């Protein structure tokens, strides 16, 4: 059982937990979770216990540094070479989105869910809409499910390409980087052909999707085939560059025991040998098999992402073939009051929403994001390495301050 969130309601704590692919609220858990303090303090501090000693100083990296890129701060304790401890402050991105959702209609709150993290916009949108659909008792039709799968996999593809591009750039693999950047932009353009938005926003809604681009399906198929072929070739070629591989091999290694203790999910968990993936439990994916690696280092995380890109291309092509032209219909059985959980497998792990509605307005919401656990995993895995490993360690986890700070 994995702890994903702690809900504070009327001075009592309830737990958002995951067990064998199902996420639910546990009101009186018997288990004690190693990541309790991490989740409790997720808006103030993420990291490991601060190291002190002779010659040890704090190197503050961010929020305005070319190497960080996003608004956040890393406090790194070092004596000049080896990293002794890392403390991360995500508050620079804090937008209080959970509070902003209160008293909003599900439709308005859905737009806020999309703005938690622009590059995980569809994952957040899907998890939130599933929570509302569970409250409403709404079952989506097969076509809607397929379109959502395609959008989720498109999001996975461009995020994974982005992560591998960052790793390549960090290792000064300029030619590879340039080709990957080309693929990245092409994948954003494919998103637009499919959903009318480069970041798949304003596409999903409660119980349905706003799909109006069926004329583009053949073009999208062609683009996905090209992407699969070119990425596959580039990736195989990149593995021949020892300069590149040397920078990520055995860098920021994490054991499966550490990953479980942190509550890590997604490709970073699968790179430690654990095949957890929420998609395994969705019939629509048809015999889904999670991609795993066992070494738990930055190279393993990259390998998992690379093969997931190819796998996602196959999933998209399969689902596109099965799409039907029929107009999407759904019958709303709106419940004005109730509570529901919704979740999905985002590019970097589990995104989960717990939502309570009162008079069909959001009364309470809790968002669990994969980046919280990812930053902790980064901090723990980076200890003992040197600062030049920073970008490889951080980028290989595919995490974002926007996702973490909400």
For residues 367 and 402, which CB has a smaller minimum distance to another protein in the complex? 402
In the complex, what is the shortest distance from the CB of residue 70 to another protein, in angstroms, rounded to a whole number? 5
Q: Does 94 bind another protein (CB under 8 A)?
A: yes
Stretch that binds another protein, among 76-84, 112-120, 243-251, 325-333 (CB under 8 A): 112-120
In the complex, what is the shortest distance from the CB of residue 109 to another protein, in angstroms, rounded to a whole number? 13
Question: 8 vs 13, 25, 127, 184, 262, CA distance in Å?
Answer: 5, 12, 20, 40, 21
In the complex, what is the shortest distance from the CB of residue 189 to another protein, in angstroms, rounded to a whole number? 9
Stretch that binds another protein, among 8-16, 118-126, 141-149, 357-365 (CB under 8 A): 118-126
Other Cβ atoms less than 10 A from the Cβ of 333: the count is: 10
Which of 145, 223, 230, 280 touches another protein (CB under 8 A)?
230
Task: Give the CA count within 13 Å in the CB-facing half-sphere of 113.
Answer: 38
189-228 residues near another protein, rule: CB under 8 A? 198-199, 201
Question: 219 vs 24, 97, 146, 324, CA distance in Å?
Answer: 40, 37, 18, 16
Which of 9, 237, 257, 336 touches another protein (CB under 8 A)?
237
Which contiguous run of DSSP H or E holds residue 16? strand 12-19
For residues 112 and 254, which CB has a smaller minimum distance to another protein in the complex? 112
Q: Does 96 bind another protein (CB under 8 A)?
A: yes
Quote the CA–CA distance of 187 and 223 in Å, as a whole number. Answer: 8
Could you tell me the maximum CA-CA distance found in the chain, to the nearest angstrom?
70
Quote the CA–CA distance of 238 and 219 in Å, as a whole number. Answer: 28
For residues 213 and 318, which CB has a smaller minimum distance to another protein in the complex? 213
Quote the CA–CA distance of 303 and 60 in Å, as a whole number. Answer: 31
**Residue pair 164/373 in contact by the 8 Å Cβ criterion:** no
For residues 100 and 291, which CB has a smaller minimum distance to another protein in the complex? 100
Q: Does 104 bind another protein (CB under 8 A)?
A: no
Quote the CA–CA distance of 207 and 225 in Å, as a whole number. Answer: 30
Quote the CA–CA distance of 128 and 105 in Å, as a whole number. Answer: 12
The radius of gyration of the chain's CA atoms, rounded to the nearest angstrom, is 21
CA-nearest of 295, 180, 310 to 248 is: 295
What tokens were used for 266? 């997604």
Which of 92, 249, 385, 387 touches another protein (CB under 8 A)?
92
Which of 91, 105, 258, 318 touches another protein (CB under 8 A)?
91
Q: Does 181 bind another protein (CB under 8 A)?
A: yes
For residues 127 and 383, which CB has a smaller minimum distance to another protein in the complex? 127
In the complex, what is the shortest distance from the CB of residue 287 to another protein, in angstroms, rounded to a whole number? 32
Q: Does 400 bind another protein (CB under 8 A)?
A: yes
Q: Does 64 bind another protein (CB under 8 A)?
A: yes
For residues 253 and 346, which CB has a smaller minimum distance to another protein in the complex? 346
Other Cβ atoms less than 10 A from the Cβ of 222: the count is: 11
Q: Does 116 bind another protein (CB under 8 A)?
A: yes
Q: Does 311 bind another protein (CB under 8 A)?
A: no
Number of residues located near another protein, criterion CB under 8 A: 44
In the complex, what is the shortest distance from the CB of residue 179 to another protein, in angstroms, rounded to a whole number? 6
Other Cβ atoms less than 10 A from the Cβ of 326: the count is: 8
374 by Cβ neighbours in 10 Å (0-12 / 13-18 / 19+) ranks as buried
In the complex, what is the shortest distance from the CB of residue 65 to another protein, in angstroms, rounded to a whole number? 8
The contact set with another protein (CB under 8 A) reads 63-64, 66, 69-71, 91-97, 100, 111, 115-119, 121, 162, 165, 175-176, 178-179, 181-182, 184-186, 188, 198-199, 201, 230, 233, 236-237, 240, 400, 402-403
């Amino acid at each position: 059982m994995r702890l994903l969130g702690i809900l504070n309601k009327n001075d009592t704590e309830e737990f958002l937990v995951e067990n064998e692919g199902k996420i639910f609220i546990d009101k009186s858990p018997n288990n004690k979770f190693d990541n309790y303090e991490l989740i409790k303090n997720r808006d103030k501090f993420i990291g490991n216990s601060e190291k002190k000693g002779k010659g040890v100083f704090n190197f503050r990296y961010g929020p305005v540094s070319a190497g960080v890129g996003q608004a956040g701060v890393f406090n790194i304790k070092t004596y000049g070479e080896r990293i002794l401890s890392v403390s991360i402050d995500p508050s620079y991105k804090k937008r209080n989105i959970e509070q902003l959702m209160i008293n909003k209609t599900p439709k308005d709150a859905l737009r806020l869910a999309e703005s938690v993290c622009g590059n995980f916009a569809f994952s957040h949108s899907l998890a939130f809409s599933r929570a509302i659909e569970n409250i409403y008792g709404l079952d989506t039709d097969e076509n809607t499910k397929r379109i959502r799968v395609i959008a989720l996999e498109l999001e996975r593809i461009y995020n994974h390409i982005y992560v591998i591009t960052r790793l390549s750039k960090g290792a000064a693999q300029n030619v590879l980087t340039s080709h990957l950047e080309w693929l990245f932009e092409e994948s954003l353009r494919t998103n637009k052909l499919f959903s009318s938005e480069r970041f798949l926003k304003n596409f999903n809604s409660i119980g349905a999707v706003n799909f109006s681009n069926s004329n583009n399906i053949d073009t999208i198929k062609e683009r996905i085939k090209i992407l699969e072929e070119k990425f596959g070739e580039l990736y195989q070629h990149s593995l021949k560059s020892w300069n590149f591989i040397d920078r990520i091999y055995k860098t920021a290694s994490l054991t499966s025991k550490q990953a479980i203790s942190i509550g890590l999910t997604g490709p970073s968990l699968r790179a430690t040998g654990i095949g957890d993936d929420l998609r395994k439990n969705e019939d629509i994916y048809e015999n889904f098999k999670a991609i795993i690696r066992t070494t738990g280092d930055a190279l393993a995380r990259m390998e998992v992402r690379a093969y997931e890109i190819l796998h996602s291309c196959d999933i998209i092509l399969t689902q596109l073939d099965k799409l039907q032209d029929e107009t999407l219909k759904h019958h709303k059985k709106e419940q004005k009051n109730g509570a529901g959980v919704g979740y999905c497998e985002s590019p970097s792990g589990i995104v989960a929403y717990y939502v309570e509605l009162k008079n069909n307005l959001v009364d309470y919401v809790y968002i669990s994001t994969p980046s919280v656990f990812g930053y902790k995993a980064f901090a723990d895995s980076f200890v003992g390495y040197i600062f030049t490993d920073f970008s490889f360690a951080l980028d290989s986890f595919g995490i974002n301050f926007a996702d973490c700070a909400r």
